[in-house]
Structure 1
Amino acid sequence: MARRPDPAKRERIVHTTRELLRRRGVAGTTMLDVVAEAGASRGSLYHYFPGGRSEMVEDAVSGAVAEYSEALLALAELSPREAIPLIVEVWRSEAEASGYEAGCPVVAAALGGEAEPGAREIAARAFTDWTDTVAAWLEQTGVPARRTASLANLLLSAVEGAVIVGLAQRSSEPMVRVAEELVNVVEAARSTGAGHS
């Protein structure tokens, strides 16, 4: 009799993979590490992920992308003054909780793309989609349409960069400063847009 898939076990493996990616990156996340941390057998990894490590990493990155995309969409009704600090606060609290050891698994996929090109493609699509989502939100808040794409790119790049600098410095200060400056930049763009309406 064939084993029935256990969605909870599969999800535990995906979650463990995501956490390892956050702490160790793609190159530092091995199937043996996942087996040890998830409390799973090596055979179960191949049962749930017949495509091996690549499928497991891609599923972990896709799960993170879906989670972060949902969080971005949830902020759509907030003003930049409310939303930007909230976005940064999520990363700040996660960085602090991990002892400044864990970053973004999507960035890990982007950086580890040579080892896992499928995961890098997922990361590339995610950043494109997030840029589009943030650009649409910025326009909705009053930023002139001609500036939304570049400001969305700035927001995403600055937040991800601040997280990386914060992890390196083991401090939340870079994230706090970036949040403050991004609010100022977006509010200035909104003021410019209001003046030309």
Structure 2
Amino acid sequence: MARTSGPETREKLIRAAEELFASRGVDGAQLRDITRLAGQANPSAVQYHFGSRAGLLDAVMAGRQERTERVLRALPREADEDVRTLVTALVTAEASELRTDRGRRCLRVSAQLSHESGVRTGAPHPTLAGTAYWALIERIAARLADGGLPGPLLRERLDLALTVVGAAFADRARQYLDGVEPLIDEPLFLADLVETTTALLGAPRPRGA
């Protein structure tokens, strides 16, 4: 068995957590199974390296966020951004995770945490604070505010849109991991997701709101 110290062990635990959080669920995966899959004899390996299950989950999401950040920062920023342009950037960044099995597993994990982003409160989760991803979310929110959506409805709608995007990518990732042939090819899937999400965000304001 491997030692329970050092960066290699930490990385093995993160990889094992990605796999089991994706397949069994964030709440369903057992720490002992993660430790075993990582090849660690010490049952306290997760606590040693991450402090808790939550700390391990944050490490998984931080790695996923780091990859997404690289994509977002490489995208050109247009001077006159509308909602569709911003949603396209969001979908493009998320789609980069479909390229690898690791990214696909992380898409399945992050979809389970969509309501923890901080969109509803306006206070980002610590792993999102100061990121290009959160700045993109704020720019989308600003465009929605320009359209006259009141604050609570705006946050609710934006949170719903991000949940839809996350669920769509998680299901696409599941199909890839399971070897299932998708109904439509990836370019069409991404284009349709952009249009669907843009339409959701631009839906008419409900009567009485």
Counterparts of 1:167 and 1:62, CA distance in 2 = 16
Indicate if the aligned counterparts of 2:22 and 2:109 stay in contact, CA closer than 8 A.
Answer: yes
Q: Give ranges in structure 1 of 5+ residues lacking alignment.
A: 111-122, 190-197
State TM-score, norm by structure 1: 0.56
Contact 1:159 1:175 (8 Å CA) reproduced:
no
Verify the 8 A CA contact 1:84 1:183 in the aligned structure 2: yes
Asked whether the 8 Å contact 1:65–1:126 carries over to 2, the reply is no
Q: Is the helix fraction higher in 1 or 2?
A: 1
Aligned-pair CA distance for 1:25: 1.2
Partner of 1:124: 116
Residues 109 and 180 (structure 1), Cα distance of their counterparts in 2 relative to 1, 3 Å cut: closer
Matches within 5 A, 1:7-26: 7-26=7-26
Deviations 1:129-179 (A, max 9, x none): 279744521256686164353553343122123224435665356554122
Corresponding residue of 2:40:
40
**Identity across the alignment (%):** 19
The 8 Å contact of residues 111 and 170 in structure 2, kept in 1 or not, is answered as: no
Q: Which amino acid counterpart does residue 26 of structure 2 have in structure 1?
A: V
Q: Among residues 95, 105, 109, which one is paired with 1:105 in the alignment? A: 109
CA distance in 1 between counterparts of 2:50 and 2:103 reads 30
Aligned partner of 1:85 in structure 2 is 88
Asked if the contact 2:71/2:93 (under 8 Å) is kept, the reply is no
Structure 2 residue corresponding to 1:177, chosen from 178, 181, 192: 192
Match of 2:146 among 144, 147, 168: 144
State the aligned residue count. 173
The whole-number CA distance in structure 1 between the counterparts of 2:47 and 2:194 is: 42
Q: Classify 1:95/1:35 alpha carbon distance in 2 versus 1 (closer, same or farther; 3 Å).
A: same
Q: Would the aligned equivalents of 1:64 and 1:106 in 2 still touch at CA under 8 Å? A: no
Unaligned runs of 5+ in 2: 204-209
Matching residue of 1:163: 169
Measured after TM superposition, the shift of residue 98 of structure 1 is 3.7
One-letter amino acid of the structure 2 residue matched with residue 144 of structure 1: D
Structure 2: distance between partners of 1:86 and 1:132? 12
Aligned-partner SS, 2:158: helix
Amino acid at match of 2:116: A
Question: Cα 1:40–1:164, aligned 2, differ >3 Å: closer, same or farther?
Answer: same
Q: Distance in 1 between matches of 2:70 and 2:167?
A: 19
RMSD over aligned Cα atoms: 4.6
Alpha-carbon separation, structure 2, partners of 1:138 and 1:72:
18
